Amino acid sequence: MDDADILIDEMADLLAEENRLIRAADFAALARIAGLKAGLVARLEAAERPAAAGALTRIGTAARDNMRLLDAARQGLRAAQLRIAAIRGAAGRLSLYDDRGRAVSIATAATGFERRA
Protein backbone atom coordinates (compact mmCIF):
# COMPACT_ATOMS: atom_id res chain seq x y z
CA MET A 1 0.00 0.00 0.00
CA ASP A 2 1.52 3.33 -1.02
CA ASP A 3 0.96 6.89 0.17
CA ALA A 4 -2.05 7.60 -2.05
CA ASP A 5 -3.84 4.47 -0.83
CA ILE A 6 -3.13 5.35 2.80
CA LEU A 7 -4.41 8.89 2.25
CA ILE A 8 -7.56 7.58 0.55
CA ASP A 9 -8.20 5.28 3.53
CA GLU A 10 -7.66 8.20 5.93
CA MET A 11 -10.08 10.35 3.92
CA ALA A 12 -12.68 7.57 3.86
CA ASP A 13 -12.38 7.22 7.64
CA LEU A 14 -12.64 10.98 8.10
CA LEU A 15 -15.73 11.16 5.87
CA ALA A 16 -17.34 8.33 7.85
CA GLU A 17 -16.62 10.24 11.07
CA GLU A 18 -18.04 13.40 9.51
CA ASN A 19 -21.20 11.48 8.58
CA ARG A 20 -21.56 10.29 12.18
CA LEU A 21 -21.07 13.83 13.51
CA ILE A 22 -23.64 15.28 11.11
CA ARG A 23 -26.19 12.69 12.23
CA ALA A 24 -25.37 13.50 15.87
CA ALA A 25 -25.65 17.27 15.13
CA ASP A 26 -22.20 17.82 16.66
CA PHE A 27 -21.46 20.96 14.65
CA ALA A 28 -18.53 22.04 16.83
CA ALA A 29 -16.69 18.81 16.03
CA LEU A 30 -17.58 19.22 12.35
CA ALA A 31 -15.80 22.57 12.31
CA ARG A 32 -12.63 20.90 13.62
CA ILE A 33 -12.81 18.19 10.95
CA ALA A 34 -12.93 20.74 8.11
CA GLY A 35 -9.25 21.58 8.59
CA LEU A 36 -8.29 17.92 8.64
CA LYS A 37 -10.15 17.33 5.38
CA ALA A 38 -8.41 20.27 3.71
CA GLY A 39 -5.04 18.93 4.83
CA LEU A 40 -5.78 15.47 3.46
CA VAL A 41 -6.90 16.90 0.12
CA ALA A 42 -3.65 18.88 -0.13
CA ARG A 43 -1.62 15.76 0.68
CA LEU A 44 -3.57 13.74 -1.92
CA GLU A 45 -2.88 16.38 -4.56
CA ALA A 46 0.83 16.31 -3.69
CA ALA A 47 1.11 12.50 -3.73
CA GLU A 48 3.65 11.17 -6.23
CA ARG A 49 1.28 8.56 -7.62
CA PRO A 50 -2.33 9.57 -8.18
CA ALA A 51 -4.99 7.64 -6.33
CA ALA A 52 -6.98 4.99 -8.17
CA ALA A 53 -10.11 6.24 -9.91
CA GLY A 54 -12.32 3.77 -8.03
CA ALA A 55 -11.02 4.97 -4.68
CA LEU A 56 -11.58 8.60 -5.65
CA THR A 57 -15.12 7.75 -6.75
CA ARG A 58 -15.77 6.10 -3.39
CA ILE A 59 -14.67 9.12 -1.35
CA GLY A 60 -16.45 11.46 -3.78
CA THR A 61 -19.70 9.58 -3.17
CA ALA A 62 -19.18 9.76 0.61
CA ALA A 63 -18.47 13.50 0.40
CA ARG A 64 -21.64 14.10 -1.65
CA ASP A 65 -23.67 12.06 0.85
CA ASN A 66 -22.33 14.21 3.68
CA MET A 67 -23.10 17.36 1.71
CA ARG A 68 -26.72 16.23 1.30
CA LEU A 69 -26.95 15.50 5.04
CA LEU A 70 -25.54 18.93 5.89
CA ASP A 71 -28.02 20.59 3.54
CA ALA A 72 -30.90 18.67 5.14
CA ALA A 73 -29.66 19.71 8.60
CA ARG A 74 -29.48 23.34 7.47
CA GLN A 75 -33.03 23.16 6.12
CA GLY A 76 -34.25 21.55 9.34
CA LEU A 77 -32.63 24.26 11.46
CA ARG A 78 -34.19 26.96 9.29
CA ALA A 79 -37.63 25.33 9.58
CA ALA A 80 -37.22 25.19 13.37
CA GLN A 81 -36.27 28.88 13.47
CA LEU A 82 -39.34 29.80 11.43
CA ARG A 83 -41.59 27.69 13.66
CA ILE A 84 -40.22 29.26 16.83
CA ALA A 85 -40.73 32.73 15.35
CA ALA A 86 -44.32 31.83 14.44
CA ILE A 87 -45.02 30.56 17.95
CA ARG A 88 -43.53 33.67 19.52
CA GLY A 89 -45.51 35.88 17.16
CA ALA A 90 -48.74 34.07 17.96
CA ALA A 91 -48.42 34.88 21.64
CA GLY A 92 -49.48 38.49 21.12
CA ARG A 93 -52.27 38.06 18.60
CA LEU A 94 -55.16 35.85 17.64
CA SER A 95 -55.79 35.03 13.98
CA LEU A 96 -59.40 34.50 12.90
CA TYR A 97 -61.41 34.60 9.69
CA ASP A 98 -64.22 37.07 9.09
CA ASP A 99 -67.58 36.26 7.47
CA ARG A 100 -66.00 36.70 4.02
CA GLY A 101 -63.16 34.27 4.71
CA ARG A 102 -60.46 36.91 5.09
CA ALA A 103 -57.79 36.48 7.76
CA VAL A 104 -58.08 38.96 10.60
CA SER A 105 -55.58 39.39 13.44
CA ILE A 106 -56.74 40.58 16.82
CA ALA A 107 -54.23 41.78 19.38
CA THR A 108 -54.56 40.00 22.69
CA ALA A 109 -54.10 41.60 26.07
CA ALA A 110 -51.03 40.68 28.02
CA THR A 111 -51.86 37.97 30.48
CA GLY A 112 -50.48 37.69 33.93
CA PHE A 113 -51.31 36.45 37.36
CA GLU A 114 -53.21 38.73 39.64
CA ARG A 115 -52.31 38.34 43.27
CA ARG A 116 -54.91 39.15 45.85
CA ALA A 117 -54.28 39.28 49.51
105 neighbors 94 (Cβ within 8 angstroms): yes
**Looking at residue 69, what is its pLDDT?**
97
**Looking at residue 95, what is its pLDDT?**
79
Tell me the one-letter amino acid at 8. Answer: I
Residue ranges, the chain, pLDDT below 50: none
| Pairing status of strand 103-107 against strand 93-97 | antiparallel
pLDDT in tens, 18-29: 999 999 999 999
43 neighbors 89 (Cβ within 8 angstroms): no
Q: Where are the domains of the chain?
A: 3-91
Distance CA 11, CA 117 (A): 70
**Looking at residue 80, what is its pLDDT?**
96
**Looking at residue 93, what is its pLDDT?**
76
